[in-house]
Amino acid sequence: MRIIPAIDIIEGKCVRLTKGDYSTKIVYNEDPVEVAKQYEDHGISYLHLVDLDGAKSKGIVNHRILERIASETSLEVDFGGGLKSDEDVRIAFESGASQVTGGSIAVRLPETFLRWLQQYGKERIILGADAREGKIAIGGWLESSDESVIPFINNYTERGINYVICTDIGKDGMLSGPAFDLYEEILSENKNVKLIASGGISAFDELPRLKEIGCEGVIIGKAIYENRITLKQLENYILNAD
C-alpha cells in the first residue's frame, strides 16, 4: 500500500482544513516545497498536492508550487483542485504532475473527464470521489450532487478509470479514523479499482487495516502535521514493505 502525504495549498502556504471548511484553515508551513523535501528525506515517493485556491476559482492557481516540487524533488505528484478545462490539465502535467485528480469535473462534465482519460491514459487520471453522507460532493466540497458514491465509482471503472481517491468529508481533518466500512463496501463490489483511502487517518495502526481491506494507497494529512503519525514511522513502514 502506497503512503501518500497530502499538501493542501492556500495562498501559496501549506494548510489543513476540517471537513473541507475554508474557515477552519490552519497554516502549518509557509513553504510547501520545504515540507515536500522532508517527506522525500524520509523515503516517501508520492505526494497528493491540492490547489484549494483553484478548487474555489475558475481554474488552476498554484501550479508554480507544483512546478517547484516537481523540479526540486523526485516525488511523484498527484495534483488536484481547480482542474476545470483541458488547459488546466495541460498546465498541471507540464508543471510536473505524474497524475491529476478530477472530482467535480467528473460530475459536471463527464465527457470532458472521459476525454482526459482517453488522451492521457488510466495511469495518469484519478477519479476523485468525495463523499458526504453517501453522496458525491463537488466544488471544493461546497456543493452536494445527486450522485451516490458506489454507483459513481463503479460507472467510471467500467469506463476505464483505474485509480480512485475516496474521501469521507465528514471525517476529513477530524483525526477520528478513516471510513473503513465505506472502503470495505466499495472493494467488495469492485475488485478492479485501485482505491486510495483519504480522510480521518489518525493513528499509525490504522494503516495495516486499510492495507488488509485492499486499499492501494492512503493519503495522510493532519495526522502528520499534528505528530499523530511520525515521518520515522512512515519511513520504517515503507522500508519493511520493500
* 22 vs 20: CA distance, rounded Å: 6
CA atoms lying within 13 Å on the CB side of residue 220:
29
Of the candidates 51, 53, 78, 130, the residue annotated as catalytic is 130
* 63 vs 7: CA distance, rounded Å: 13
* C-alpha 22, offset from chain centre: 17
Note if 41 is an active site residue.
Answer: no
DSSP helix/strand/coil, 219: strand
Of the candidates 8, 53, 88, 168, the residue annotated as catalytic is 8
Note if 130 is an active site residue.
Answer: yes
CA separation (Å) from 72 to 1, 50, 76, 205?
25, 18, 12, 32
Give the list of residues 6+ apart from residue 235 with CB closer than 8 angstroms, or none.
Answer: 42, 43, 44
Burial environment of residue 161 by CB neighbours within 10 A (0 to 12, 13 to 18, 19 or more): buried
* Helical residues (DSSP H) of 73-216, grouped into ranges: 86-94, 104-108, 110-120, 149-158, 180-189, 206-213
Nearest-10 crossing angle of helices 63-72, 86-94: 30
Residues forming the active site: 8, 130
